[in-house]
């Protein structure tokens, strides 16, 4: 059975199940009972959604379907970019204890398409990192423990130490540099149309080429530093 079929058949059950699971904090055991995807399978899911004219999530607005098509192309291109920050590579390679990186995402999210392939490339530098991508809207019981300024912003990465189940780091939904550009742009243009904002956002990502994301992770995973 294809990834796409499994996703479609499981969605209603997962949403119903989540109504009866309202624990105040996410534990590693709870996360491991969820449907999640390694990067390759998540990328395949986005591509299949694009091919079949679908998007992840129960709702299927045409705008999100169109965004999914664009994101399938973006992810393919960005996944080919290497990691140029050598200090980051050293920091990630030095991780000595197993970690689970839980990444909330949706196929229609433009920030996700720009960042998730790079995060997957970063994770590949350590045999002690297991990257698991969860669809946000299927897992709101977990997502609501990791809001950004009260919002379910994605992509959102939560890094958990496998042995203890302790959260050791979090990141998202954008690099600190891109987020600052967004903040300044919206302050100057509070009534900007969404399309104009998206055009500027993806231009900034294109110019940045993942450098600011790599810098964030270099700092976040400096040996001895923990940011929850």
> 50 φ, ψ to 5°?
-60, -45
Q: Identify the CA nearest to 116 among candidates 181, 11, 38.
A: 38
**CATH top-level class for 3-171+210-220?**
alpha beta
Percent of the chain having pLDDT more than 90?
A: 81
Burial class (CB in 10 A: 0-12, 13-18, 19+), 125: middle
Percent of the chain having pLDDT more than 70?
A: 86
- Report pLDDT digits (tens) over 62-91: 999 999 999 999 999 999 999 999 999 999
State residue 224's pLDDT score. 74
d(C-alpha 111, C-alpha 129), whole Å: 22
Work out the angle between the directed axes of helices 110-123 and 39-52 (0-180°, nearest 10). Answer: 150
State residue 32's pLDDT score. 82
Lookup result for tokens 């964030």: 216
State residue 33's pLDDT score. 83
Residue 112's pLDDT band, with cuts at 50, 70 and 90, is very high
Q: Identify the CA nearest to 175 among candidates 106, 85, 90.
A: 85
* Paired residues of 104 in beta bridges: 134, 156
Domain definitions of the chain by residue range:
3-171+210-220
31 or 179: which leads in pLDDT: 179
Q: How far is CA 12 from CA 52, 53, 57, 171, 174, in A?
A: 19, 19, 10, 29, 30
Q: Which range among 29-33, 113-117, 162-166 shows the weakest confidence by mean pLDDT?
A: 29-33
Strand pairing category for 156-161 and 99-105: antiparallel
Q: Yes or no: say if 100 and 160 are a contact pair by the CB < 8 Å rule.
A: yes
Q: Mean pLDDT over residues 198-216, rounded?
A: 97
Burial class (CB in 10 A: 0-12, 13-18, 19+), 224: exposed
């Amino acid at each position: 059975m294809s990834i796409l079929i499994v996703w479609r058949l499981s969605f209603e059950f997962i949403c119903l199940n989540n109504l009866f699971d309202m624990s105040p904090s996410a534990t590693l055991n709870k996360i491991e009972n969820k449907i999640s995807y390694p990067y390759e399978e998540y990328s395949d899911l986005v591509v299949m959604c694009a091919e079949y004219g679908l998007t992840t999530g129960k709702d299927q607005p045409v705008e999100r379907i169109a965004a999914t098509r664009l994101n399938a192309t973006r992810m393919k291109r960005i996944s080919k970019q290497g990691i140029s920050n050598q200090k980051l590579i050293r920091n990630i390679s030095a991780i000595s204890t197993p970690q689970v990186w839980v990444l909330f995402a949706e196929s229609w999210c433009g920030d996700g398409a720009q960042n998730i392939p790079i995060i997957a490339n970063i994770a590949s530098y350590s045999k002690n990192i297991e990257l698991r991508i969860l669809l946000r809207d299927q897992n709101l019981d977990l997502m609501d423990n990791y809001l950004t300024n009260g919002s379910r912003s994605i992509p959102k990465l939560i890094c958990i130490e496998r042995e203890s189940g302790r959260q050791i780091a979090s990141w998202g939904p954008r690099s600190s540099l891109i987020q600052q550009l967004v903040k300044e742009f919206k302050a100057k243009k509070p009534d900007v149309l969404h399309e104009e904002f998206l055009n500027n956002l993806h231009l900034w990502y294109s110019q940045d080429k993942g450098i600011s994301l790599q810098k964030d992770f270099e700092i976040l995973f400096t040996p001895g530093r923990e940011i929850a």
